[in-house]
Amino acid sequence: MPEAGQEVIKVRRFLKERLQRDYTSLRGYEAERSNVRQLLQRTAEMGESNSLLLIGPRGAGKTTLINAVLTDLLDNKAFVDNTLIVHLDGNLHTDDRIALKSITVQMRLENAADGKVFGSFAENLAFLLQCLKAGDKKSKSVVFILEEFDLFCTHHNQTLLYNLFDVSQSAQAPICVLGVTCRLDVIELLEKRVKSRFSHRQVFLFPSANQFEEYSALFQELISIPSSKELKITADRLDSLELLKSEACTFQLNHFDGVEYTFDKRFVDNWNKEISKLIKSPAVQRTLQTLYDFDISQAFLKMFIFRLVAQMKLEAPHITADQVTALASQYECDDKVDLLLGLSVLELCLIIAIKHHSTIYDRDPFNFEIVFGRFNKFAKVSSTMQGIERAIVLKAFEHLRIVELIMPLSSSGVGKVQKEFEMHKLALTYGQIHLAVQRYQALPTEVAQWAQSSLI
């Protein structure tokens, strides 16, 4: 039946897009959301100046929260007319000169600032803010959003931050500074004079740790298809996004839009029924619990579901419990053990020799000669590893170094010391080595025995 096939493709495309490109729907964090919204609203309407830091781990939804708040506020005509939004990212605006240029562009003041020479950073910024006042009685308010706030703290003298906070405190022009960061100690990074100008308003976003029910409900929500009515509601909410005309913030350009999709009603019902059945199965519940124990952030879960959805095919139109567990088991495995399993027997022997050296000398550093001596003792009595030349063992040792299973002690001393004598340290735990020895296919028995005890 070709229609059903089309439907599956469509569902896959829909789910993928919603998982990747839905930048504005925030789940939870009601209190924090209204807090930030009120703050921005006051800046827009009353002309209050403010500063705020949004702190939370990666993938907790800090940027999404700001986007959601902006989407809410864009409905409000007064807000749209009255505010300018300036987006800065610590990874892109790596110094204050670039940042200032970008601010000028985003405030659409290139013409005004053109050809003027400014003595200092503060003068320049003051001029920009002054420009906003001109013409109008009431000055336009500016919202500065600083992503990766901690990186701005490394700029020379923290000039940008100092000036922004200074303006926000001295009521020259209504501006609101929103810092977004994942460093908890970010306040400590600020210089004293900068710190004293900051309002010390901080909003913490922490995904809640003990709410597994919500997590599995979220899983269900992300993977099921909403009815067309629900799609319509979310689409209406996003209409206002078009009013956001900023060069630096372009998420509205390819934002997920549910209206483009219409599904066959029977198919949707069927799909949602399958999904709720899937979630109730004990295997999936157990898998979700392990995932939850790994990482509670929504970004992690979304990525997991994305990979799950990507596996949908014409021949296999439904997500099965087996797929869920198989994919989750990929997250459980240790990359380093996988790499160890790809080594040759010789290289694994060297790892074992290093392990013996480390256990005997309490993780002392080692060089090639030490490892080679130990390996040679084993090779002499073994039947499989005999007759391997030193040059090949050295090559194997270098391979271990390339894949960073062993690391040189100092990176600076290269060249002075011959490579046979350069000291290294082991970047593996004994457990990983043990696991690799156990799992290695067709490992000679004597090597496995040697791994157990250093006595030959």
Partner 1 sequence: MEKICAALESQFPCREAVISSLAELIGDSQEAYPPAIYIFGHSGTGKTSLTNSFLQQCQKQQKVRIAQLNAIECYTTKIMIENVLDALEAKQQSADNMLEFVEQLRCLHGQETQGFLIAIDNAERLRDMDANVLPVLLRLQQLTSLNLCVLLLSQLPFEKYYNKTGLSEIITLHLAQYNKAETLRILSSDFAQVRQELLQQQSHQQQRLAICDEAMTPDFYSNYLNLFLSVFYKACRDVPELRLTARKCFGIYLEPVLDGSVECTDVSRLWRHIAGPLRAALTQIYMRIEKSGETEIEDQSVRKLAQSLELPYYGKYLLIAAFLASHNSAKQDKRLFVKHHGKQRKRMQTVNARAKNAEKMSTTLGPKSFSIDRLLAIFYAILDEKVGLTCNLLSQISTLVHLKLLAFVSGEQNIMDGSAKLQCTVGLEFVLYIGKVVGFNVRQYLCDFM
Q: Which of residues 390-449 bind partner 1 (CB under 8 A)?
A: 390-392, 395-396, 402-404, 416-418, 420-421, 441-442
What is the footprint of partner 1 within residues 2-21 (CB under 8 A)?
12-13, 16-17, 19-21
Evaluate whether 327 touches 288 at the Cβ level (below 8 Å).
Answer: no
Evaluate whether 161 touches 190 at the Cβ level (below 8 Å).
Answer: yes
The set of residues, in sequence order, having a beta carbon less than 8 Å from that of 61 and lying 6+ positions away, is 26, 27, 29, 205, 207, 298, 299
Q: Which residue's CB is nearer to partner 1, number 283 or number 388?
A: 388
Number of other residues whose CB lies within 10 A of the CB of residue 280:
11
Smallest distance, Å, CB 269 to partner 1? 24
Smallest distance, Å, CB 137 to partner 1? 35
Q: Which residue's CB is nearer to partner 1, number 126 or number 388?
A: 388
Residue with tokens 């909410």: 237
Structure tokens at 418: 């011959």
Name the helix (H) or strand (E) containing 426: strand 424-426
Residue 292 touching partner 1 (CB under 8 A) = no
**What secondary structure letter does DSSP report for 431?**
H
| Region binding partner 1 by CB under 8 A among candidate stretches 69-77, 169-177, 213-221, 249-257 | 249-257
What is the footprint of partner 1 within residues 144-163 (CB under 8 A)?
148, 150-151
Among 177, 343, 352, 353, binds partner 1 (CB under 8 A): 343
Smallest distance, Å, CB 404 to partner 1? 5
Q: Could you give the string, one character per residue 253-272, with x where binding to partner 1 holds by CB under 8 A and - elsewhere?
A: xx------------------
Smallest distance, Å, CB 300 to partner 1? 6
Residue 310 touching partner 1 (CB under 8 A) = yes
Cα dihedral 146, 304, 307, 274 sign:
negative
What is the footprint of partner 1 within residues 163-222 (CB under 8 A)?
182-183
Q: Which residue's CB is nearer to partner 1, number 126 or number 248?
A: 248
What is the footprint of partner 1 within residues 20-59 (CB under 8 A)?
20-21, 23, 57-59
Among 121, 127, 251, 261, binds partner 1 (CB under 8 A): 251
Q: Which residue's CB is nearer to partner 1, number 86 or number 173?
A: 86
Displacement of CA 8 from its chain's centroid (Å): 30
Among 35, 384, 401, 448, binds partner 1 (CB under 8 A): 384
Strand partners, 176: 50, 143
Evaluate whether 75 touches 64 at the Cβ level (below 8 Å).
Answer: no
Name the pairing type of β-strands 175-181 and 50-55.
parallel
Residue with tokens 């002075």: 416
Coil, strand or helix: which one is 173?
coil
Q: Which residue's CB is nearer to partner 1, number 171 or number 259?
A: 259
Among 114, 213, 362, 389, binds partner 1 (CB under 8 A): 389
Smallest distance, Å, CB 335 to partner 1? 3
Q: CA-based diameter of the chain, in Å?
A: 93
Name the pairing type of β-strands 83-89 and 175-181.
unpaired
Q: Which residue's CB is nearer to partner 1, number 39 or number 433?
A: 433
How far is 128 from 193, CA to CA, in rounded Å? 23
Evaluate whether 179 touches 144 at the Cβ level (below 8 Å).
Answer: no
Size of the site for partner 1 (CB under 8 A): 76
Name the pairing type of β-strands 406-408 and 424-426.
antiparallel
Smallest distance, Å, CB 344 to partner 1? 5
Q: Which residue's CB is nearer to partner 1, number 46 or number 402?
A: 402
Displacement of CA 98 from its chain's centroid (Å): 24
What is the footprint of partner 1 within residues 356-375 (CB under 8 A)?
357, 360-361, 367, 369-370, 373-374
Q: Which residue's CB is nearer to partner 1, number 233 or number 417?
A: 417
Q: Which residue's CB is nearer to partner 1, number 57 or number 317?
A: 57
Smallest distance, Å, CB 58 to partner 1? 5
How far is 124 from 177, CA to CA, in rounded Å? 18
DSSP string, 198-250: S---EEE----SS-HHHHHHHHHHHHSPPPHHHHHHHHHHHHGGGG---SS--
Residue 244 touching partner 1 (CB under 8 A) = no
Phi, psi at 296, each rounded to 5°: -95, 0
What is the footprint of partner 1 within residues 79-138 (CB under 8 A)?
89-94, 98, 102
| Region binding partner 1 by CB under 8 A among candidate stretches 108-116, 169-177, 277-285, 300-308 | 300-308
How far is 364 from 274, CA to CA, in rounded Å? 57
Strand partners, 406: 426
Q: Which residue's CB is nearer to partner 1, number 17 or number 166?
A: 17
Residue 342 touching partner 1 (CB under 8 A) = yes
